[in-house]
Amino acid sequence: MSSSDYDPTSEGAETDFTRRMSYGNYLALDAILSAQHPLSEAHDEMLFIIQHQTTELWMRLAIHELSAARRAIARDEVSPAMKMLARMSRIFEQLNNAWDVLRTMTPSEYTRFRSQLGQSSGFQSRQYRLIEFLLGNRNHAMLKPHAHDPETTKLLEAELATPSLYDEVLRLADRNGLKMPAAVLARDVRETHSFNEGVLQAWRVVYEAPETHWMLYELAEKLVDFEDYFRRWRFNHVTTVERVIGFKRGTGGTGGVSYLKRMLEVELFPELWRVRTIL
C-alpha cells in the first residue's frame, strides 16, 4: 500500500473531534497563527515578526526552566536543577540558530518596513529583562523602559527582591561545606553580584579536586555551559544587527550595535570564568 492509500482510522486514529480536544485546540493554534499583523506590504516583515514572536516563546520556556532550577537549588535538589540548566543550553542553541534565518534579510529589505516599528524594540522585551534579572544582571536603569506598564514593573521589582540563580548556587555551595564570604551571602540581592576574590578561591577548591566536590563541580560547569550559549546569543545578536542596519541607532533609541557590544562584556558568573586562569 502506498502512503497515499493509507487510512489512519484503520489503526484506531481519531478523526472526529466534534466533542474532543484537537491538536489545534490544545496548542491554541488559532490564537498563535493569527497573531502576525504586518503593517506594510514588505514581504520580509512576516519573517521579522515571526522571528521575534518565536524568540519570546523560547524565552517564556527559559523563564520557566530558570525559575524552577533556582527553586530546586534553594531546596538542595541539585539533580533536577542540572537537568533544567542543561535544557537551558539547548534552548539558547535554538535561539542562536534562529539568527541564521533572520540574517537572510538584507538591509534593503529591512528598510522597506523599519519605519513601521516606530519606537518598538527588543530592548523593551520584559521577558528578556526578566531573564537578565533572574541571572543576576540587575541594572535598575533597565526598569525605565517598563515604567509605563505597572504590571511589568511589579513583576521585575519582585524579581529584583529575589536572590538570583547564582546567589542560590553560592548559598548551596556554602551549605555543602564550601565556605563563601559572609559579605557575599548577606549582600543586597537587588544589586548585581560583583567579582569577589573569596568566591574565586572557594571555586578553586572545587576545581582543584572535582572528585571530592563532584556535585558542585558539575553544577558549576552547567552554569558555564549555559553562559557560553548565552554569550553566543548576544554575539549573534550584535552581528545580525550590524549586518542589517550597520551602526544606525536602534528603533528604541539605543546606540544599536554600540549598545549591544557593551552587553558582550557582561559576566553572569565571573568567578567561574576566572578560576580557569589560576588552576
Q: Which residues are annotated as a binding site for heme?
A: 237
Rounded to 5 degrees, what angle do the CA atoms 272, 178, 163 make?
Answer: 65
Say how far apart CA 250 and CA 124 lie, in whole Å: 11
Say how far apart CA 239 and CA 260 lie, in whole Å: 9
Given a contact cutoff of 8 angstroms between Cβ atoms, the answer to whether 235 and 266 are in contact is: no
Binding residues for substrate: 48-52, 110, 114, 251
Binding residues: 48-52, 110, 114, 237, 251
Given a contact cutoff of 8 angstroms between Cβ atoms, the answer to whether 128 and 59 are in contact is: yes
In angstroms, the Cα distances linking 244 to 12, 48, 102, 107, 185 are: 51, 12, 9, 5, 44
Residue found by looking up cell 558582550 in the block: 264
Looking at residue 181, what DSSP letter applies? P
Residue found by looking up cell 516606530 in the block: 118
Q: Could you tell me how many residues make up the chain?
A: 279
In angstroms, the Cα distances linking 183 to 148, 170, 187, 199, 269 are: 35, 12, 6, 11, 17
Rounded to 5 degrees, what angle do the CA atoms 191, 89, 92 make?
Answer: 85
